[in-house]
Chain A
Amino acid sequence: MNRIITIEEEVPNVHKMVIDAPDVAKKCKPGHFAIVIPDEQSERIPLSIADWDEDAGTVTIYFLEVGVSTMKLARKVAGDEIDMMAPLGRESEIDNYGTVVVCGGCYGVGAIYPIVKALKEAGNTVVTIIEARAKYLLYNEEVLARDSDEIYTATSDGSHGTKGKAQTVMKDLVDGGRHFDRAYIMGCTFMMMRNARMAKELGIPSKVYLNPLMVDATGMCGVCRCDVGGETKFACVDGPEFDGADVDWEQLFKRSAQYVPHQTLAYQHKKCDIDHCGGV
C-alpha cells in the first residue's frame, strides 16, 4: 500500500496526486505507467506517470475524473493509502532526433513532462504544444516551458493561444516552414488519433501512448490487445508507446467501448453510494 502525499484539483476535473513510492521512483523512466487500485472493491486502472522524485521517493500522476475508479481517487485525501503497481510498460524511445514536437491534451498535458525533459536532455530542440477546450482548462504550462525550447497553446474556443487543437498548431508551424523529425503525442484517444493522422499527413513519424482497457497489466489477460501495423500487440507490455501511423484507431475505439454499460451503471451506483448524506 502506498500513501498519498498530496492531492489537488489543478483545473476543473483534472487532479494531481503525489504518491509515496521510493522503490518505484528509483526505477521510473519516461513512458512508464502505474496500475492504481483506489480501494478493495475498485478496478485496476492504468495511469501515466507524470513525474518522479528519487530523493523524496515520490511519484506524480494526473488523472481526470471520468468513472468510478477516478472518482474514488479524486475523493481521497492526503494520508490515505492506495495500491499501486509500477513501473509498467516499455520505456519511451528517446534519442537525439533533431527537432521534436510534443503534443499533450487532457491528462497528457501533465504526463508529457518526463518525455519533454528526456528529449531535451538527449539534445533535441523541443517544441511543446498543449491543448485544452478553454483557457481555464490549461495547466502545467510553466513546468513544461522550463524544458521546452518553444511552447504553444491551443484552445477549442480560442480563449488562449491558437483557436483549434494541437494538430492545428502543428500544421501551422509546418506550413510556416518548420521541420519536425519526430512527434510525441499523449492525450485521450480521439486527440491522439487526430494528431497522429496530421503527423502522418505532414510526414512526421509519430509516437502515441495508447490507453486501452487493462486488467492485470502484466501481459496476462490480453484485454489491452490492439492492432498495430497489422500485428496484435499488448499495450501493457509491448507499449504503451507505439507508432502513431500504424495504430488501428477504429478498432481501439470499439474495444474501449466493451464495458461502457457497466462502467456507467457502476459510476451511477457509486455516486449514489458515496455522495449521499448532508452537507454540500
Chain B
Amino acid sequence: MTARIDGKDYDIIEGETILDIARRNDIYIPTLCNHPDLSAFGGCRLCLVKVEGFRAFVPACATPVQDDMVIETTEEDLDDLRRRILQLILSEHPSACIICADREECLDLHPDPTKAGRVTGCRFCPNRNECDLFDVVKALGVDDIWVETEYKDVPLYRRDPFIHRDYNLCILCGRCVRVCAEIRGVSAIAFTERSHDATIGTAFQGPLVDSSCVFCGACEDVCPTGSISSKMTRWVSIPEVTGKSTCVMCPAGCAMDVGFKWGRMTITEPSEEGENVAQACLKGRYCTVPLTNSKDRLEYPRVTTDGVLRPVKWETALETAVEGLKGFAPEEIGMIVSPSLTVEEAFLAQRIMRGLGSDNIAIASNMAGPMQKAWGGAMDRVAGIGTMTDIRDCDAVLIVGTDLSLTAAVTQVHVHAAWKDGASVFNVKIDPRKGYRHADVIEPDAYGPFMDILLEEVKAPGQQPHTPDRDAAGRIASALKDADKTAILVGPGAFRDAAEGTQVAKLALELFEAVNGTVLLPLWDGGNVQGVLEAGASRCLTPGQCIEQDSGKYSSGRNPLGEGIKALYLTHPVPEIPEGVEFVVYQGPFGSQVSERADVILPSSMFSETEGTVISLDGRVGSITSDARLPNMAKPDWKVFIDMGRALGLDGFDFEAVADITEAVGLPLEPGTHLPPGEPLPEGDRAVRVDDAVNPVGPWPCSATRYRGREIAEDVEDFLEVAASWGWDE
C-alpha cells in the first residue's frame, strides 16, 4: 500500500497515522502535543495537513493513513494557519524572548539561564536549550505575535518535593497527563478547570505529595516547555561532562545518563536506550545526586585514639586496621558485605576474608539469606527467571511482599504495559501503601500461610472451606492457571522474618513451576544483591555462585553477628554491634551510629563515584562509570579493598584497573547482556544446601528508603516528606 506525500510515493503500514509515515521518512510536520511513546491527542493542531478529498485540514497525528491517500504537508494557506495557531499558543506563554531578534546574542552572553523566581523570558528559562516550542517557532519562522499577549499569573507550585511546576509556561499539550496515565499507570494529574482557566493539576489542585504522584519525573521528561522541571537541576543547564552509567539505588538497574558540571555530579536521567524504557524512579532520578554531594560524607580515614575518632592518613588507618584484624583468629573475624558494592568490589571483599582464612561473610540484606536457603537448594543458582521486559507479555502478574512504589519502581511500567494488554494484576501485600492502582490488592494476615493456601488452590482448587484469604487465593489461582504467560515477583516485605521469607521464597518457586510460569523475579532489597551473590561474597559461595559445602578450605562459616565473633569488617551498617566484638573496621560513604563505635573508619564511595559492574534483579549486566571527584580523602571501594589486601599481605591483589578485576571474577560480564536465568533442579536433586547461619536474622537497615544503610531522607529532605505521605514507617 502506498500514499503520496508532497508529490512522492511512500509505502505505508496498516494502522499508521500520517505523522508516523512522515516521521519514518524524515518529512517535517510540526508538532507539540504529540510524543512517539504516547497516544495521539490532536490538541495543538500544529500538525494539520491537507488531504485530497477531505473537507478540512486534518491533524496528521490522529488521522490513519489509507491506501492511495494524497497528502500535502505544506501550502500557503496551511502554513499561514499553522503560524497563527502557533501565535495563539505563544500568546499565553512568556514568549517575548522566543521571537526577539536579539535572542541569540543575549543567550550567548548568558550561557547559563539566569535563575529566576518567575520565568518571564528565555533568558530566565531552565528549558531554553531543549525547548520544543522554540524549535517549532524557528521551523515555522514566526517572529511576531498578532494577538494580545498575556501572562497567566497563576501561582507557582514550588512547595512540592522534587518537582517544580510553573503553569504560566504551560501550553496545555497534555503530554504529562498522558505519560502519567499511559506509561506509569499512576494518573496523578489531569486537565482541570475549563475554558480559559483550563490547567493541568491534581485532584482539587492539591500538592503532588498529597496526590498519587510517585515523583518519577516522567512528566518532566516529556514537557516541551520549562513548565515542569526538577527543582534540583532546573538551573544547571547543559552538563560539561556526560556519561552512561547504571543506577544502583535499587536492583532494577536502570540505564542512566549522568552529567557532571563544575566539578560535581549534577544530574542523573534515564537513558533513551535500556530495558527501563527511558523511565526511572524518584530515587534514581532525584536522590542519587544529593546523596553523592552530601555534606555528611565521610571524608577522612579515622582511627580511635583515646576514645575519639581522629582523622589520620590512609597509611595509618590501614596499618591500624591490619594490626587489629591480625590480632584475631580467622574464625573470630566476620565481614558484612554491602549489597550496594559492585561485582568487582564484592569479589575483592570475599577474597580478603578467604585470604584470611575465614568464611564468616554475610550480605546485608533481609532477602539474601532466606533466598539462598530456599532457592539455593532448589535451583542451580540463586537467580531469577525471565526479564522485566518479559513481564509486558504476561497475562497474569502476581506481586508478593511489596507495592512497587519504591521497590524496583520501574517494574511497574512493565506491569502497566501488561495490564493495558489485558493482564490481571494481583498485589499481595500487608503494608497500607500506595500500590499500583489497577492491581487487585489482597491483604492477608501473614505471607507464609497465604502462599501455602495459594499453592493449594492452584494444585487442588476449591477443596477447602471458604475464608477471605482462600477466596482471594482462588481468584489469583484461576487467573494464573488461565494465563498463557505468568509473572511472579517477590519483594522484601515478605522477608521481615527470615523463616517466613524462606517459606515464601520456596512456595513462590513451587507456584511458578505449578503454573508453568514465564517470569520469576526477586525484587531484592539492595541495589546489587544479585551481583554480590555472583561474586561469591557470601558464606559458602564462591565467584560464580558455586556452593562450597565445608570444603575444608575455609573455617566453618559462622554468623558474623553471632557468637564467637570478636572482630568485624563492615561495609554496611548493622543494627548494632554485638556484645563480644572488640574491634571494628568500618568502610563506607556515610557514617552511622554504628560507625561511631568503629576503631577504624575508611571513607569510601557511593556507586555514582566508582567504576565496575552491577547485575540487576533479572540478571542484566550494567556498567558503572563516573567522572565524580570523591570528597576530600575518600577512595572508591575497590581501591580501598586493594590497599587492605596488600596491607594484609594477601595474594591476589595486584590489580591496577577495574577491568583487571572484572577479568579475574571470571564471569561473562558484558554490559547489556543477561546472565543465564536460574535453572530449577530436578526434584530429586533438591536439598537444603545452606543452613540458617548463612545470614543472620534481620531486620537489617536495608529497605527501599535506604542506600547502603543510610536513610535517604537524611540527605534528601524532600524524600522524607514523600515517604511519610506514603506511610513508609521503616
A-side interface residues toward B, CB under 8 Å?
Answer: 12-13, 64-67, 70-71, 74, 133-137, 155-159, 165, 190, 194, 253, 257, 260-265, 267-268, 271-273, 275-280
Contacts and interface: CB of A to CB of B under 8 A. Distances in A.
Interface residues of B, number: 53
Given A134-B149, A136-B151, A271-B231, A278 B96 contact: no
Contacts of B168: 12
B96 A156 contact: yes
Contact of A280 (B102, B112, B159): B159
A275 B114 contact: no
Given A66-B124, A134-B151, A268-B234, A156 B97 contact: yes
Contact of B232 (A155, A272, A278): A272
Interface string B106-128: 10011110111110110010000
B116 A136 contact: no
Given A261-B261, A278-B207, A13 B231 contact: no
A190 B106 contact: yes
Contact of B158 (A165, A253, A257, A271): A271
10 nearest A-B residue pairs (beta carbon): A65-B117, A133-B96, A261-B262, A13-B118, A156-B96, A157-B96, A136-B151, A12-B118, A264-B235, A275-B158
B320 interface: no
Contacts, number: 121
A158 B117 contact: no
Contacts of A156: 96-97, 99-100, 121
Interface in B133-189: 144-145, 148-151, 153, 155, 157-161, 164, 168
A159 B159 contact: no
A130 B232 CA distance: 35
Contacts of B100: 133, 156-157
A134 B236 contact: no
A90 B111 CA distance: 32
A116 to B, nearest CB: 24
A268 B95 contact: no
A64 B116 contact: yes
Interface of B: 94-97, 99-100, 102, 106, 109-112, 114-118, 120-121, 124, 144-145, 148-151, 153, 155, 157-161, 164, 168, 205-207, 209-210, 231-236, 261-262, 264, 290, 717-718, 721
Nearest to A261: B262
Contacts of B262: 261-262, 265
A192 to B, nearest CB: 12
Contacts of B111: 257
B14 to A, nearest CB: 46
Contacts of B117: 13, 64-66, 70-71, 74
A273 B115 CA distance: 16
With most chain B CB atoms within 10 A of its CB, the pick from A70, A165, A280 is A280
A71 B158 CA distance: 12
Contact of B120 (A133, A253, A261): A133
Contacts of A253: 109
9 contacts: A66-B115, A133-B96, A137-B151, A159-B145, A190-B110, A261-B261, A271-B164, A277-B159, A280-B159
Contacts of B264: 265
Contacts of A264: 112, 115, 235-236
Contacts of B149: 134-136, 157, 159
A279 B721 CA distance: 12
A260 B115 CA distance: 10
With most chain A CB atoms within 10 A of its CB, the pick from B120, B157, B233, B717 is B120
B148 A159 contact: yes
A190 B94 CA distance: 19
Nearest to A15: B117
A66 B114 contact: yes
Nearest to B718: A276
Nearest to B151: A136
With most chain B CB atoms within 10 A of its CB, the pick from A156, A159, A194 is A156
